Amino acid sequence: MKKFQPQPGFVVQAYRFALDPNAAQEAALRSHCGAARAAYNWAVAWVTASWWQRKAEESYGVPEAELTQWRPWSLPSLRKAFNTAKHADLRFADWWADNSKEAYNTGLANAAAAFDNYAKSRQGKRRGRKMGAPRFKSKRKARLTCRFTTGTIRVAADGRHVTLPRLGTIRTHEPTAKLLTRVQAGTARILSATVRHERGRWFASFQVEVKRDLVRVARPEAAVGVDLGVKTLAVMADSTGEIRTVPNPGHYNQALKQLRRASRTVSRRQGPDRRTGRKPSKRWEKANAALGKLHHRVANLRQDALHKLTTAVTAEYGTVVVEDLNVAGMLRNRRLARRIADAGFGEIRRQLDCKTRQRHATRIVVADRWYPSSKTCSGCGAVKAKLPLHVRTYECDACGLVIDRDDNAARNLAALAAASTTGTGVAGDRDTPVVSKPRGADRKTRATRPRRKTETGRAGGAALPHQRQEEARDRPQAEALTL
d(CA 225, CA 409): 8
Mean of per-residue pLDDT scores for the chain: 84
Indicate whether 463 pLDDT > 90: no
Per-residue pLDDT, averaged over 210-233, amounts to 89
- In this prediction the pTM is 0.76
DSSP calls for 254-279: HTHHHHHHHHHHHHTS---BTTTTBP
Known active-site residue 406: yes
d(CA 450, CA 464): 12
Q: What is the pLDDT of residue 301?
A: 95
Task: Provide the β-strand partners of residue 394.
Answer: 403
DSSP calls for 147-178: EE-SS--EE-TTSSEEEETTTEEEEBSS--HH
Which range is least confidently modeled, 302-306, 330-334, 376-380, 451-455? 451-455
Provide the pLDDT confidence category of residue 88 given band limits of 50, 70 and 90. Answer: confident
Indicate whether 474 pLDDT > 80: no
CA angle (369, 392, 412) in 5-degree steps: 40
d(CA 476, CA 258): 54
Indicate whether 337 pLDDT > 50: yes
Report strand pairing: 402-404 vs 161-164. Answer: unpaired
Q: What is the pLDDT of residue 7?
A: 61
Indicate whether 313 pLDDT > 50: yes
Per-residue pLDDT, averaged over 378-400, amounts to 87
Provide the pLDDT confidence category of residue 460 given band limits of 50, 70 and 90. Answer: very low
Distances (CA, A) of 169 to 18, 19, 152, 230: 14, 11, 10, 45
Give 21-36 pLDDT, tens digit per residue: 999 999 999 999 999 9
What ranges make up the beta strands (E) of 107-231? Answer: 145-148, 154-155, 161-164, 168-171, 188-198, 201-211, 219-228
Distances (CA, A) of 417 to 39, 372, 435, 440: 50, 15, 17, 23
Q: What is the pLDDT of residue 26?
A: 95
Contact 243, 410 (CB under 8 A): yes
Q: How many CB atoms lie within 10 A of CB 189?
A: 15
Q: Within 186-334, where are the H helices?
A: 251-254, 256-267, 282-316, 327-330
Indicate whether 440 pLDDT > 60: no
Catalytic residue among 102, 238, 342, 406: 406
**3-state SS, residue 344:** coil
Contact 226, 189 (CB under 8 A): no
Contact 295, 260 (CB under 8 A): no
Q: 167 — alpha (psi -120 to 50), left (phi > 0) or beta?
A: alpha
Query: Residue 127 gets which letter from DSSP?
Result: -
Provide the pLDDT confidence category of residue 436 given band limits of 50, 70 and 90. Answer: very low
Q: How many CB atoms lie within 10 A of CB 20?
A: 15
d(CA 337, CA 330): 7
Known active-site residue 323: yes
Catalytic residue among 102, 238, 316, 323: 323
